[in-house]
Amino acid sequence: MGSHASEIAAFMDDLKAKNPGEHEFHQAVHEVAESIIPFMDTKPIYRDLKIFERMCEPDRTIIFRVCWQADDGTVHVNRGFRVQVNNAIGPYKGGCRFHPTVNLSVLKFLGFEQQLKNSLTGLPMGGAKGGSDFDPKGKSNAEVMRFCQAFMSELFRHIGPDVDVPAGDIGVGAKEIGYMFGQYKRLTNKFEGVLTGKGLEYGGSLIRTEATGYGAVYFMENMLAVQGLDFEGKTVVVSGSGNVAIHAAEKACQMGAKVVTLSDSGGFIHDPAGMTEEKINWVKTLKKNNGRISEYTKEFSGSTFHEKKRPWSVPCDYALPCATQNEISGEEAKALIANGVKAVSEGANMPTVDAGVKAFLAAGVLFGPAKAANAGGVAVSGMEMSQNSARVSWTDKELRNLLKTTMSTIHQTCHQFGAGHGVNGTVDYVRGANIGGFVKVADAMLAFGVM
C-alpha cells in the first residue's frame, strides 16, 4: 500500500473538499480507498474511467421537509432524506433511519457502504439510504404514525419496486414500515413491493426480522471455521439491544455461546451467568414496550448495570458490536485485544473507528467488517423483493437455508480477495469485502459507458 499513499491522500483531499465536514462519509470512503486504489493497478480502466470517483458521488440526494403534529397540537418540522447512491446492478436499496443524529454525512456513509454490501449478497440491488432526524423516543404511537405518513407523503414520488426499495434501520422497525407502506398504498393506489421488512400479512418475508443478527453470527461462524474454532462455551460480548443485537445474541446462544452483555444508549448490562433463550425473549418484550436495558438487572439477579458505559471492557472470546457507528474506539479495541478477543463480527454499520480496525488487523483478530458481516438483513430483503414480484411466499426452512448459504458465499468472496493479505498470511476480510463488493458494481458501470 505504501506506494499508493500519495494517491489515496490526494483522492481523500478531493473528496473532503467536495464534501466538507462530512466526517462519517470521509471515514467510510477512506477505508475502502485503501483497498480499492491499490487494487485498480490490476485493471487500470477502473482508474482511467474514474469508476471509484463515480461511486463516491451519489446519483442524487433528495432532502425534504417533514411537518407533523404532536398529540398536544404542537407542530414539528423535521428533515427527511433519501440518498440514491448507485443503481448499476439493481434498483436502489437500503434502509431508513430515524434518529436525532441523522444528517447528510451519516446517510452518505451508509449509502456508500450499502452499494458494496448489496453487491456482496450476489442479488440485483443498488445502494441507497434514507431517514430523518426525527426522534421516535418518547413519542406516542399516533405521533409515530403521523410522522411516518408525513415522511412518505414526499418520499413516495421517489421510490418504487423497480426504482428504490427502502427498509428499516435504527428507529425503523415493523411498526414504522407498516405506517409507511399504508401511506404509499393510499397515495399511489398500488399494492406492490415498495418496502421490505413488511408484516407477514401484507407481503413481508419470514426470517427478515432475524436476518441481520443471525447473519452476523453466521459470518463469524465461517471465519472461525477457517481456524478450526466455534462458539461452543465461548464468552460473547454484544452491544445494542435492538433488532440486530437481540437476534445476534439469540443465534450465538443457540450455537452454545455464553452471551454476557447487551446495551443501549443509557449503558450496558453484564450478566456473568450468560443469557438464556428465556432472558432474550424477555428483552424482546421489553424493547417492544420501549423499555430500557437497565431494567434487566431488576429481573435477573446476578446481573449489573453500568451507566453510560460500553461493554468492551468485559473480557470475552468474541465481540458483536450491534448498536451504531463508531462505538468501538481505538482504545476500546486495544482493551478487547488485551483481554484476548479472537473474533469481531460487525452487526452494526461502521461500529469500529479506523484506529480500532487497524488494531484488530494488526493483532490478527478475525475481523468481519460490516458490509460483509451484516449483509444478511439486506439479503433477505432482496428475497422479499423476489417473493413480492412472483407473488409467492417461501417457507421458513427455505429462507433459513438461503440466509445461511448467502452468508457463507459472502465469506467465500471476502476470503477470495482477502486471503494472505492479513498479518502473517492471515485473511484480511476488510480488503476482501471492499474488493469483493466493488468488482461487480464497477464492471456493470464499465458496461454502461461514461455517465
Q: What angle do CA 347, 429, 427 make, to 5 degrees?
A: 135
Quick note: the x/- pattern for ligand NDP over 76-115, rule CB under 6 A, is -------------------------x--------------
Is residue 196 a contact residue for ligand 2IT (CB under 6 A)? yes
- Closer to ligand 2IT by Cβ: residue 378 or 442: 378
- CA dihedral 357→360→362→363, nearest 10 degrees, is 170
For CA atoms 99, 333, 292, 284, give the dihedral sign: positive
Is residue 351 a contact residue for ligand 2IT (CB under 6 A)? no
Nearest to 405 by CA among 123, 128, 205, 204: 123
Is residue 82 a contact residue for ligand 2IT (CB under 6 A)? no
C-alpha cell at 420: 494472505
Contact 192, 388 (CB under 8 A): yes
Length of the chain: 451
Least separation in angstroms between residue 120's CB and ligand NDP is 12
Q: How far apart are alpha carbons 61 and 83 in whole angstroms?
A: 4
Q: Write out the binding residues for ligand 2IT, residues 95-134 only, by CB under 6 A.
A: 95, 117
Among 241, 261, 349, 388, indicate the residue that binds ligand 2IT (CB under 6 A): 349
Is residue 413 a contact residue for ligand NDP (CB under 6 A)? no
Active site residue 397: no
Among 132, 196, 222, 349, indicate the residue that binds ligand NDP (CB under 6 A): 349
Cell 445461511 locates to: 404
**Pick from ligand NDP, ligand 2IT, none: which does 94 bind, CB < 5 to 8 A by kind?**
ligand 2IT
Is residue 377 a contact residue for ligand NDP (CB under 6 A)? yes
Q: How far apart are alpha carbons 214 and 347 in whole angstroms?
A: 9
Contact 243, 213 (CB under 8 A): yes
- Closer to ligand NDP by Cβ: residue 58 or 166: 166
Least separation in angstroms between residue 95's CB and ligand NDP is 6
Is residue 377 a contact residue for ligand 2IT (CB under 6 A)? yes
Which range, of 5-13, 33-41, 64-72, 263-271, touches ligand NDP by CB under 6 A?
263-271
Q: Which residues of 52-75 are buried (b: 16+ CB within 10 A; e: fewer)?
A: bebbbbbbebbebebebeeeeeee
Least separation in angstroms between residue 123's CB and ligand NDP is 14
Which range, of 89-97, 276-284, 318-326, 424-432, touches ligand 2IT by CB under 6 A?
89-97
Among 240, 356, 432, 436, indicate the residue that binds ligand NDP (CB under 6 A): 240
Q: Write out the binding residues for ligand 2IT, residues 15-74 only, by CB under 6 A.
A: none
Q: How far apart are alpha carbons 93 and 317 in whole angstroms?
A: 34
Least separation in angstroms between residue 198's CB and ligand NDP is 13
Is residue 348 a contact residue for ligand NDP (CB under 6 A)? yes
Among residues 129, 251, 279, 287, which one is catalytic? 129
Is residue 86 a contact residue for ligand 2IT (CB under 6 A)? no
**Pick from ligand 2IT, ligand NDP, none: which does 356 bind, CB < 5 to 8 A by kind?**
none
Among 26, 82, 93, 287, indicate the residue that binds ligand 2IT (CB under 6 A): 93
Is residue 243 a contact residue for ligand NDP (CB under 6 A)? yes
Which range, of 55-63, 260-268, 391-399, 439-447, touches ligand NDP by CB under 6 A?
260-268
Long-range contacts of 35-38 (CB under 8 A, 24+ apart): 35/430, 35/431, 35/434, 35/435, 35/438, 36/434, 36/435, 36/438, 37/4, 37/7, 37/8, 37/11, 38/1, 38/3, 38/4
Q: How far apart are alpha carbons 262 and 280 in whole angstroms?
A: 10
- CA dihedral 246→252→256→257, nearest 10 degrees, is -90
Neighbouring CB atoms inside 10 A of 82's CB total 26
Q: Which residues are catalytic?
A: 129
Interface residues with ligand 2IT (CB under 6 A) are 93-95, 117, 167, 169, 196, 349, 377-378, 381
